[in-house]
Every structure is written in C-alpha cells, then in structure tokens.
Structure 1
C-alpha cells in the first residue's frame, strides 16, 4: 500500500465545519404541531389534583440552550417559533400555511436540559426570556384566543401530545 493511501485511510473525519467563521451552536429547538398538548407543572400533593399547562391546537416547542446562548438567542428563537408556517387544522380543508400569530393557536414551551456549562440558573433565565418574548409577540398579534404556556425548568417533563409523536433513529 502506498504512503499516500495509508495517510488518507488513517485520517478520520471530524465534526468541525470546513468553513472558517462558523459560529458555535447556541440552542437546539424542535417544533411539533399538535391538536392539543399538556405538561405537568406541579404534582398533586395531599389529595390535591396535579396542575398542568396545556394548549389546544398549536405548537409544542422543545428548547435546549448551549454555551454562548444570550438574550438575543432567546429573542431569535421566539421570532422563528412564532413565525413558523404550518397547516392549520389536521382535518381542515384549508391548505394555506399560517403561523401561530395569525390564528388562535397556542404554544407550549418545554425546556430540555440545557448545556450552559452546568449553570442551571442561566439556562432558566434564558428559558424565561424566551417565554416572555413569545408572550409579547402573541399579545401584539391580531389573533386572539392563543396562549403561550410553559413547562418548569429543571423539572422532569411529563408531557402528553396529541395526536401522537414518533421518533425513529437509524
């Protein structure tokens, strides 16, 4: 085997971007359309019913912040989420894409474990900022009846999303 070929075979692929100046990842967001969703925000204690944050038709948004995330990151995420176009109504004949800001749809924000150098407080602040930005945008929109609800940062999320979700990994 030639030396050149041996060098090529020994060189392992990396996850580094081949383009100079690419900024690091600040957050990861997964958006899912739903007919309704809810998350437990407080366990039932001493016979009391557990409390839930819930929405009807709208979007469920899973959010994870990384090192380097700032208030600006939260604002950009809010803008992207609230303006995401989707088809309204699973059974609707309308096939015009629309955003949560254009109809009475809700948003359920769910925090995932953030990777902000182990600083739970900073991740919680960013998540609260995201929720505030989303609420502000919804309050300024022409749509009424929608709400922004959220899970509890740092708490195990017990979520129910309808109709259903499937994740396949290969």
Structure 2
C-alpha cells in the first residue's frame, strides 16, 4: 500500500490490543532473547519523517494519549488514559515508505540519529503522562528489527498523519 505523506512530519498507527509482546533484543550466543509485554491496551507504531521536530513529538503524544479509539467492555470509546490498559510504542520506519514501481523507497524518512532522539523524547513524554494513571509504557528499540506478537479483539487499527 502506498500512502501519501506530503505535508506530514510523522505517521502514527494505533492498534487496540488484548495483549502484545515485542522482542527488543534477539538471542545472542548464550543469552536469551529479551521481550517487553503489555496486557490490554494499545500499540502505537511510530515513524518520523524528514520534517519531524519537537512540535511533531508533542502532537504525537497528544494523539497517543488523548484520542478516543479504545473500546471499554461497555462499548464506549475512551483514550488510553481512561482504558484499563497499558501502552506499547514500536518504532516502525517502514510506515514512511512509498511505492515506486515494485519497490518501496524510504526517502521521506528522518535521519536515523535524529529519529532516535525524537523517539526517546516521545517515549519519555508518554511515560510521564501515563504514570499519573498507573499505566505501564513499554517500548521497542529504535533502528532494530523486532519480533511482534499481538492479540487483538477486532481489527481496530487507525492511521494518523501528523
């Protein structure tokens, strides 16, 4: 799928989940793989594009924490702040790709070092906000391949260009 990102500085995909498990460190020799887990909550896939800056991070944090996309047991839509659940933030650079012919190109993506810095700021800001409601925030490792396992209660996925 080719998505147009003109004018956007980031792409965010929010997925409601029953549980999620992300491998943040692969098996290396004698050491076992390292995983982070959340139970009920939301997975936020994050991609920064070339125009991203601190304002982009602030907008993304607002979207992640305040948008009412998660269903409670009674069917009411609430934000992650109101949902009894946690947050898993996954860096996903491939969200910035564009289809050219039969290949994906990632020319719109941010420089890896700046992207890593913005990602760290995003995670810290989400942790600060969600800590007030006793919610866990887990995160993936920026720039690494990661293995994700997610259980959802319906294909409840939203794409937001920031």
Report the TM-score, using the length of structure 2 for normalisation: 0.77
Aligned equivalent of 2:49, options 66, 73, 77: 66
Count of residue correspondences: 138
CA contact (8 A) 2:16 2:156 kept: no
SS at match of 1:59: strand
Match of 2:131 among 136, 139, 150: 139
Matches of 2:91 and 2:9 in 1, distance apart? 14
CA distance in 1 between counterparts of 2:83 and 2:30 reads: 38
Q: Determine the C-alpha separation between the residues in 1 that align with 2:80 and 2:120.
A: 19
- 1:87 paired to 2:79: no
Name whichever structure is richer in strand by fraction. 2
- Residue 26 of structure 1 is matched in structure 2 by 9
- Are residues 1:107 and 2:87 paired? yes
* Residues 1:43 and 1:165: Cα distance change in structure 2 (over 3 Å): farther
Deviation track 1:107-166 (CA, whole Å, cap 9, x = no partner) reads: 1111112601xx2100001111110110111123xx32x211111111012110103769
Superposition RMSD in Å: 2.3
Are 2:145 and 1:162 equivalent residues in the alignment? no
Matched, 1:129 2:105: no
Residue 98 of structure 1: how far off its partner (Å):
1.6
Q: 1:157 and 1:137, CA in 2 relative to 1: closer, same or farther beyond 3 A? A: same
Alignment of 1:36 with 2:19, yes or no, is yes
Unaligned runs of 5+ in 2: 97-108, 158-162
Cα distance in structure 1, aligned partners of 2:45 and 2:87: 11
Q: Alpha-carbon deviation of 1:38?
A: 1.3
Partner of 2:104: none
Q: Which residue of 2 aligns with 1:76?
A: 59
Q: Which structure is richer in relative contact order (CA contacts within 8 A, separation 6 or more)?
A: 2
Gaps of 5+ in 1: 1-14, 16-22
Which has the larger Rg? 1
